[in-house]
Structures are given as structure tokens and as C-alpha cells.
Amino acid sequence: MSLLVGIVGAGPAGLLLARLLHRAGIDSVVFESRDREYVERRQRAGILEQATVDTLRAAGAADRLEREGIPHDGIDLVFDGAAHRVDFLGTTGARVWIYAQTEVVKDLIALRVADDLPLLFDTPVLALTDLDGRPTVHHAGGQVVCDYVVGADGFHGVTRGLVPGVVHERTFPYSWLGILADAPPVHHELVYAHSRRGFALASMRSPTVSRLYLQVPNGTEPWPDDEIWTELDHRLGDHHPQRGPITAKSVLPMRASVAETLRHGTLFLAGDAAHIVPPTGAKGLNLAAADVTLLAAAFDHLHRTGSPDLLDAYEHTALREIWRAEHFSHFMTTTLHLAPGQSEFDTQLQLAHLRHIVSSRAAATSLAENYTGTART
């Protein structure tokens, strides 16, 4: 059975789906409203779960990841002024990789261009029609009639509003002030810090570039450099960052959302068009990859057998994984951050939970399973 799938959005979700479909012998057209330079420079997540890396490998899209990605076998939790390691590899047999979303996107674009497959930059989708039949993608240059359309164009994209249904949302009472700095990483693995001054996270983009975050009140403007470094020193315990030039600053609001309905006729939602997770659990890119892995398998099943059973099951199957990831991200967020006006009672509950994680193999394993994504496999 021949198929043509229209994919709206050339982020990691849309590009990975296009790659998986191509490997399965299924045609697709990718529509992207922005130009290639913008898409390849768009800064987002940088932590890949084991399952995401396995999918990229199976798709033939992991060559540079294998050379340049930084494997992490655990994380440090800092609380009560001390660091405690949570061992991922020893408890689950899985690890995570540091490899920026920009690099994943560049790799997938390069593969699609090399294969001379349709990837239409600077092509905003103006409308989608006939979603109950053969959907038509209308854009400024014309129109393309498809068999199915996948909306992977993000929270503010055109496709999300075409799928009726409730969207469950939560906004958190704090934000992240994030920086990129030309400085060696604080530690060889990620550091998540609970402090009475607020949360901090020390991550990295490479052995010479650090990615660091501070919890700040909503509505905060970026701080001066010296204030950022001083506050990181206070919050990260014994993991004192080495200072270097700060090359980028941004403030990221913390929110979560899940669309209750992921399908309308021949239109399916995936990635940020379907859900947003707070970044504390490192789930955004990985959850998008899980969505399109399910969709690719469903389209492959339809292509080979003519049966739409897996496509019909997509919404139910995906939402189970989405809510699992939302729960973990919510747990990490609310356990590590101090809410405005938080009572000492609530702070002690957070600390009790953190002490339990690092003193119980079962609790540490649960965190490791969720962080590496093995809890969803």
C-alpha cells in the first residue's frame, strides 16, 4: 500500500519521523515555516535517553552522535550542602547522552538533503483541508494532497488548533535563567541542586561549553554575569563552576500541557504540538522521539498490511507514555524547586524524599528508570 505523509514542522520530531518513514519505504513531504539557518540554530534540549539514541542508531542518524556525544551513567543530586550520585547504568543498564538538539536537527537535515527528499523551508502551511478524506496541505507555493498529515510544528503551530479537545495545562510559579558559557563543565555528569536559595542545574554542551540554570521568579530579566556566577556558587554546593565568558542568556518559563486528543481524522499531533513538559526531567525531545517512533511503526504497519490498527491505537498508546513523562517531570520540578512562600514543612518533605532516593536502591532505580526512559519501554 503506497502512502504519502505530510509532516508540518522540521524540528526533531518532524525530521526524525521523515527519516523513519524513508527507511520504511514510505514517502513524506516536510513543510517548515522558517529558513534552514534558523532551524539549525534553534537552541533546545541537550539530553538524549537511551531509547532515543537507539532510535537514531536504527535510523542511520547517529554517526556524529557516536563520535561527539557525551555518555552519562548517572547524575549528582545536591542537597543538605552535599552531593549524592544516582547510578543509572548500575541500576538500569541504561545511560543518557549529552548531544544538543541543534546537532540532532543538523544531522537529520543533512541526511534528508543528501537523499534528495522533499524538505520545504520558508514554506508556512496556510491551511489543511479535507481532514476526513485525503488531506490537502495548502501553502504559499501551492498545495499537496497527502494520505495523512502529522503536526509536529510545536505549541504555537497551525496544526494544534485543528484537533478539537481539551488541553490540560499547568504553569509553575518560577522560571529558569539559563546561560551558555565558554567554560569547562562543573562536573563530568549533570548536577541537580536543591538549595534554600532555589534550584540550580549544571549541564554542558561539550567539554569546553557549560549550560547552567538558576531558578528565578517569574518575570525576571536576565541578571548581570557576576550575579549569576555568585549565585551558582551558592547553590551548587561543592561543585563550584569555573567562570568563563557567557555567550547566551535567556529566561525560560516553566509550564506543562497535554492535549487530550491527538488525532482528528487523518491529522495526528506529535512533539510539542501534543504536549509540553517542564525541562527538569529532560523529557521534551525524548518524548517527541517516542511519539514519532510510535507513528512510524503505525504507518509502516499500514504500509505493509493495509491495517490501520496501530494508527487507531496511537492516541491511547502515546498518552500513556506522555502522562508517565509528565508525572516524572512534575516530580523532579516540585521536589527540587522552592515555591514562593514555601513552608519549612514542605521543604523538609522535599529533603526527606531526596534522602530516600540516595539511601534506597529501589528509589534510586525508579528515578534512573524514569530519567533514562526505561520506565516507558
Torsion angle of the four alpha carbons 270, 275, 276, 282, in this order, in degrees rounded to the nearest 10 = -60
CATH number of 171-254+342-376: 3.30.9.10
**Distance separating alpha carbons of residues 83 and 22, to the nearest angstrom:** 45
The CA angle 34-37-40, to the nearest 5 degrees, is 95
- Residue 121 in grid coordinates: 523551508
- Sign (positive/negative) of CA torsion 299, 300, 304, 305? negative
SS3 155: coil
- Residue 105 in grid coordinates: 536537527
271-316 pLDDT tens trace: 999 999 999 999 999 999 999 999 999 999 999 999 999 999 999 9
Output the pLDDT for position 1.
74
**Distance separating alpha carbons of residues 172 and 106, to the nearest angstrom:** 32
Output the pLDDT for position 81.
87
Q: What is the enclosing helix (H) or strand (E) of 103?
A: helix 101-114
Which are the catalytic amino acids?
A: 72, 192, 279, 283, 371
Output the pLDDT for position 62.
97
pLDDT tens digit at each of 377 positions of the chain: 789 999 999 999 999 999 999 999 999 999 999 999 999 987 776 899 999 999 999 999 999 999 999 999 999 999 998 999 999 999 999 999 999 999 999 999 999 999 999 999 999 999 999 999 999 999 988 999 999 999 999 999 999 999 999 999 999 999 999 999 999 999 999 999 999 999 999 999 889 999 999 999 999 999 999 999 999 999 999 999 999 999 999 999 999 999 999 999 999 999 999 999 999 999 999 999 999 999 999 999 999 999 999 999 999 999 999 999 999 999 999 999 999 999 999 999 999 999 999 999 999 999 999 999 987 65
The domain ranges of the chain are: 4-69+100-168+256-332, 171-254+342-376
Output the pLDDT for position 258.
98
Whole-prediction pTM: 0.95
Closest CA to 285 of 108, 165, 134, 161: 108
Output the pLDDT for position 324.
96
Q: Report helix angle 50-58 to 284-305, nearest 10.
A: 40
* Beta carbons of 323 and 272 less than 8 angstroms apart: no
The CATH T-level fold of domain 4-69+100-168+256-332 is FAD/NAD(P)-binding domain (3.50.50)
30-78 pLDDT tens trace: 999 999 999 998 777 689 999 999 999 999 999 999 999 999 999 999 9
Cα 76–chain centre separation: 21
338-348 pLDDT tens trace: 999 999 999 99
